[in-house]
Amino acid sequence: MGKKISLELPDSMFEEVMKFKEESNLPNEKSAIYELIRYALTLPRYFRDFDWEMAEKEADADIASGRVKEFSSVDELLNDLNT
């Protein structure tokens, strides 16, 4: 037996839930919300606490200022990492 909860989501978040429902071929929004919560609770703490928005902004700034490298192969990337 479980607990019944009531949840109010902003329209934009509910739209994302519905996209997930469709992409995952789930029968209804209740099962989609359940799967998303179950998934979120299994994430390691590092991923739950990591500031992804800040990391994306930092990456965008690095790209804009040219602080990036390009590699033509995986071996070239690995050689660069090992030096």
The domain spans of the chain are: 9-50, 51-83
DSSP state of 66: T
Q: Backbone phi, then psi, for 2, in 5-degree steps? A: -125, -175
Sign of CA dihedral 46, 47, 48, 49: positive
Alpha-carbon distance values, 20 to 15, 76, 80 (Å) = 9, 37, 38
How many residues are given for the chain? 83
> Tens of pLDDT along 13-70?
999 999 999 999 999 999 999 999 999 999 888 887 899 999 999 999 999 999 999 9
Task: Record the pTM.
Answer: 0.57
